[in-house]
Amino acid sequence: MIGMHGIADAWIVAGPPGAGKSTVAALLLARLRPTPALLDKDTLYSGFVEAALAVAGRDAGEREGPWYDEHIKIHEYAGLTATAREVRVHGCPVLLSGPFSGQIHDPARWERWTAELGGGRVRLIWVHCPPGTLRGRIEARASGRDGAKLADFAAYVARIRPDSPPAVPHVVIENDGTEADLVAQVDAVVG
């Protein structure tokens, strides 16, 4: 769908790792018409990140912190943003999936980022998952990149603030119930 500013819509599915962003994104993609192009941070950049960490001699599971933010995350997000803008300008809506914690918790940064995305209609869906449920979901996915998170889960939770909602307009999807609850919430967002 082309928004009123001549650029296709953008959907942002944000939340901490393990919160259920991929599940929510899949539910949205099955319902939105036209179907947006999916730009998932992990799908697009996991190989790049693994290679960059190896070349730099960093731990293979490092996915946060000052070094990661300065040397890797900035490039992941810049690439996602530029790709999303290019796709939207050509008339295709996009759905970006990633944590986007810096952007969603700082209104000025959000405003700059949405402008870099091309402006127009940008909708934020925040996937909330309480810390206890989040831990269980991270353990269940058994990903090697989650080792550091689980090793000191209390410090990880303090850094990512999973109970701190975005400081910008958003819709909350609560991911602490059944799949049917999740489907009903997504249906309400789309409807």
In a domain, 75, yes or no: yes
What residues contact 70, with CB distance under 8 A and at least 6 apart? Answer: none
In a domain, 66, yes or no: yes
In a domain, 4, yes or no: no
pLDDT tens digit sequence for 129-178: 999 888 888 888 888 778 778 888 888 888 888 899 999 999 999 998 88
**Nearest-angstrom CA–CA distance, 168 and 171:** 10
Amino acid type, 87: V
Task: Please say if the pLDDT value at position 128 is more than 60.
Answer: yes
In a domain, 33, yes or no: yes
Number of domains in the chain: 1
Query: What per-residue confidence (pLDDT) applies to 29?
Result: 98
Q: Quick one: average pLDDT of 100-127?
A: 96
In a domain, 128, yes or no: yes
Alpha carbon distances (Å) from 85 to 10, 14, 75, 92, 172: 9, 18, 15, 10, 24
Query: What per-residue confidence (pLDDT) applies to 5?
Result: 54
Integer distance in angstroms from the first to the last C-alpha of the chain?
15
Query: What per-residue confidence (pLDDT) applies to 62?
Result: 83
In a domain, 2, yes or no: no
Look-up of token digits 């996991």: 46
Q: Which of 168, 81, 155 is nearest to 123 (CA)?
A: 168
What residues contact 188, with CB distance under 8 A and at least 6 apart? Answer: none
Task: Please say if the pLDDT value at position 4 is more than 70.
Answer: no
In CATH, what number is assigned to the domain containing residue 87?
A: 3.40.50.300
The helix/strand/coil state of 64 is coil
Mutual angle of helices 179-190 and 21-31, in 10-degree steps: 50
**Nearest-angstrom CA–CA distance, 124 and 143:** 26
Query: What per-residue confidence (pLDDT) applies to 1?
Result: 52
In a domain, 77, yes or no: yes
Alpha carbon distances (Å) from 103 to 34, 52, 57, 77, 152: 26, 23, 28, 10, 25
Query: What per-residue confidence (pLDDT) applies to 81?
Result: 97
Domain assignment of residue 171, given as a range: 10-190
pLDDT tens digit sequence for 40-97: 999 999 999 999 999 999 988 888 788 999 999 999 999 999 999 999 999 999 999 9
Task: Please say if the pLDDT value at position 118 is more than 80.
Answer: yes
In a domain, 1, yes or no: no
